[in-house]
Amino acid sequence: MKYTSNQQIFGNADTGGNTRQGIVSPLMAHMTSRSMVAQVGDVRSAMTKSVYYGFTSAGVSSVASGKRYYFAPDQTLDNSIITGIEVLVNTTLSRFITSGGQRDTLTLAQQASATLYLCDKDNTVISSVPFTSMVLSAQGGRPAMMYSDNHSWMASFFVFENMAGITSNNGIGIRVSYQPK
């Protein structure tokens, strides 16, 4: 089908007495009804949860490039629809406290080689997102929107390809926006 105008592509168009539904309009209606898209600046969700991960000098959380760092189990996030994830940097939150003590938040440059892998209950990666695309200041203040209703927070992980300058005194802070299923 050949379209001759933006109106035909993005919405209803009157073409000689016939009203045709455009391509994008039904898709946008479906995605909007499921909160899969939103206007720039819209609130992602009324509910947020902060997740902090502190690195250690030894063990599962020890600093190593290419290593998978898994999140602790979280029933609240597992039983919700994740609508957005924001990775915090040192200009947003300088320090935080974990069970292992106080940690310094990483800089944007330190997080440049990190990627978040959101997985389902079968440990299949359903989404991979670079950390820097989830940092508000790196995206001109625009939040990273997402829609995930079949994830497992405990199966999800992040990887740093290069951990130069990152020590056991550092950690990451993540703000997850969600809504109940």
pLDDT of 5: 45
Burial class of residue 86 in the structure, from the number of CB atoms within 10 Å of its CB (0-12 exposed, 13-18 middle, 19+ buried) = buried
Higher pLDDT, 158 or 32: 158
Q: Say yes or no to pLDDT of 36 above 70.
A: no
Average pLDDT in the chain = 82
| Whether the predicted pLDDT of 52 surpasses 70 | yes
The answer on pLDDT for 145 being more than 80 is no
Higher pLDDT, 117 or 9: 117
Q: Would the pLDDT of 14 be above 50?
A: no
Q: How many residues does the chain have?
A: 181
Sign of the CA dihedral with 126 first, then 83, 171, and 88 last? positive
What share of the chain has pLDDT > 70, as a percent?
77
Q: Within 13 Å and on the Cβ side, how many CA atoms surround 9?
A: 5
Q: How far apart are the first and last CA of the chain?
A: 38
**Predicted local distance difference test score (pLDDT) of residue 50:** 92
Give the separation between CA 118 and CA 134, rounded to whole angstroms. 13
Give the model's confidence band at 26: pLDDT under 50 very low, under 70 low, under 90 confident, else very high: confident
At residue 76, the pLDDT reads 95
pLDDT band (50, 70, 90) for residue 21: low
> Per-residue confidence at 142, pLDDT binned at 50, 70, 90?
confident
CA dihedral (50, 56, 58, 61) in degrees, to 10, reads 20
Contact present, 139 and 9 (Cβ < 8 Å): no
Tell me the sheet residues that pair with 117: 128, 157
Q: What is the pTM of this model?
A: 0.74
Domain edges within the chain? 1-33, 42-180
**Contact between residue 125 and residue 117 where contact means Cβ atoms under 8 Å apart:** yes
**Burial of 5 per CB tally in 10 Å (0-12, 13-18, 19+):** exposed
pLDDT tens per residue, range 68-124: 999 999 999 999 999 889 999 887 777 777 777 788 889 999 999 999 999 999 999
